[in-house]
């Protein structure tokens, strides 16, 4: 019988102790109206906490910057109405027995739309979008890079978002530094062509996010857990890599570690794949190895098809119990410390509780119609 008990051991992240290793990760579901989550959205997050997730991340929430994001159905982390609503989300998760963090987000040049999902992002100058060097995709420059003043302004917006999270009762913050959005645009050499202190070498490319972390630490102290999401793949390039070797990865992430990051959330499409062509650990494994910082693995956990197949292509993702055994073994060996369970917990909110009870036969596949069911959580429909 598969030994999955390691998933249910407590773990320390910064000043926070999580009761188990299972995280419900940030997933953009477009269930807000004008950036404000309604009561049903709060219940949705709380349901994943009552199902056994030790930590619940909100969807990416736009920080208070003019070009942080343009999708009115995704969360906004500024304005009285939105902040009050996110405070109710934190309260609901706590009441259900979980811990909660918002994922602070700035999209940079990449906005959320059909063109993006099809790998053809469009530049929208009317939004005043910013990026390190003006590249919306490799080799495609559409505007000038950020000035030093613009960089300082965005750093301040991230820090204010963290301050607001603490004031609302959240237990920490995650910074969205993956998938080709603003922080990742600094990390990725293909979109960062700067020649100042924020570009060039891997360490220099890692400076922007380090400055964000450092400013949050300055304002909120050493105990606040700060998580950084990173990825190899990008929305504009699924084969992309922010680092081609473990040595480059170490140099890239060192500034964030020195600034005080407590955990890396390492996004992969398939957790079982090695981070580099030569084989070896997955992305979370290599990140932990080169930084010494706890890491979380994520990517098709419990399922047999990655998110692009099940979401963009409309294919069902069946349960993959054999991979769960592999996951548990790698966790026991210390390759990574936490596990993000996304689509599997959309399909079955009680996923952690069922796994803990050994009732694996009750786990459900992820099917495309689940997204239609979640669309009913839109606040605009609550009174319908």
Decide: 76 and 122 in contact? Cβ < 8 Å: no
Report residue 173 as tokens.
Answer: 């913050």
CA 264 to CA 198: how far, in whole Å?
21
**Is-contact 143 193, C-beta < 8 A?**
no
Phi and psi angles of residue 313, each rounded to the nearest 5 degrees, phi first: -95, -5
**How far, in Å, CA of 120 to CA of 136, rounded?**
10
Q: Which of 24, 5, 41 is nearest to 99 (CA)?
A: 24
Question: Can 181 be counted among the known catalytic residues?
Answer: yes
**Rounded distance, CA 234 to CA 245, Å?**
18
- Whether the Cβ atoms of residue 76 and residue 34 lie closer than 8 Å to each other: yes
Q: Could you give the CA distance from residue 352 to residue 343 in angstroms, rounded to a whole number?
A: 13
Active-site residue, from 44, 111, 158, 181: 181
Query: Can you count the helices (H) and strands (E) in the chain?
Result: 14, 14
Distance separating alpha carbons of residues 80 and 224, to the nearest angstrom: 23
- Integer distance in angstroms from the first to the last C-alpha of the chain? 47
Catalytic residues: 181
């Amino acid at each position: 019988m598969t030994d999955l008990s390691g998933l249910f051991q407590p773990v320390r992240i910064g000043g926070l102790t999580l009761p188990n290793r299972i995280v419900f990760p940030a997933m953009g579901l477009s269930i807000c109206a004008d950036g404000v989550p309604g009561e049903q959205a709060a219940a949705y997050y709380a349901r994943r906490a009552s199902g056994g997730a030790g930590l619940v991340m909100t969807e990416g929430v736009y920080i208070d910057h003019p070009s942080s994001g343009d999708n009115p159905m995704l969360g906004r982390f500024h304005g009285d109405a939105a902040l009050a609503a996110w405070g109710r989300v934190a309260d609901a998760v706590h009441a259900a027995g979980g811990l909660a963090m918002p994922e602070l987000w700035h999209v940079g040049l990449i906005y959320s739309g059909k063109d993006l999902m099809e790998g053809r992002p469009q530049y929208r100058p009317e939004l005043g979008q910013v990026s390190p060097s003006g590249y919306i995709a490799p080799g495609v420059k559409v505007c000038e890079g950020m000035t030093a003043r613009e960089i300082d302004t965005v750093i301040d917006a991230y820090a204010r978002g963290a301050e607001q999270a603490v004031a609302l009762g959240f237990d920490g913050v995650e910074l969205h530094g993956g998938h080709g959005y603003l922080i990742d645009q600094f990390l990725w050499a293909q979109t960062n062509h700067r020649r100042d202190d924020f570009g060039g070498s891997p360490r220099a490319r890692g400076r922007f996010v380090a400055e964000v972390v450092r400013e949050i630490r300055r304002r909120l102290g050493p105990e606040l857990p700060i998580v950084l999401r990173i990825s190899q793949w990008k929305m504009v390039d699924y084969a992309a890599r922010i680092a081609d070797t473990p040595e480059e990865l170490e140099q890239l992430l060192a500034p964030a570690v020195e600034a005080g990051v407590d955990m890396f959330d390492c996004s992969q499409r398939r957790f079982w794949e090695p981070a580099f062509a030569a084989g070896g650990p997955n992305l979370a494994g290599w990140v932990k190895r080169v930084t010494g910082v706890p890491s979380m693995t994520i990517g098709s956990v419990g399922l047999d098809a990655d998110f692009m197949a099940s979401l963009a292509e409309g294919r069902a993702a069946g349960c993959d119990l054999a991979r769960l055994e592999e996951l548990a073994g790698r966790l026991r060996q210390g390759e990574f410390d936490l596990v993000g369970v996304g689509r599997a917990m959309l399909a079955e909110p009680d996923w952690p509780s069922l796994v803990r009870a050994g009732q694996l036969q009750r786990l459900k596949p992820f099917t495309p119609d689940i997204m239609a069911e979640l669309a009913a959580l839109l606040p605009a429909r609550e009174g319908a």
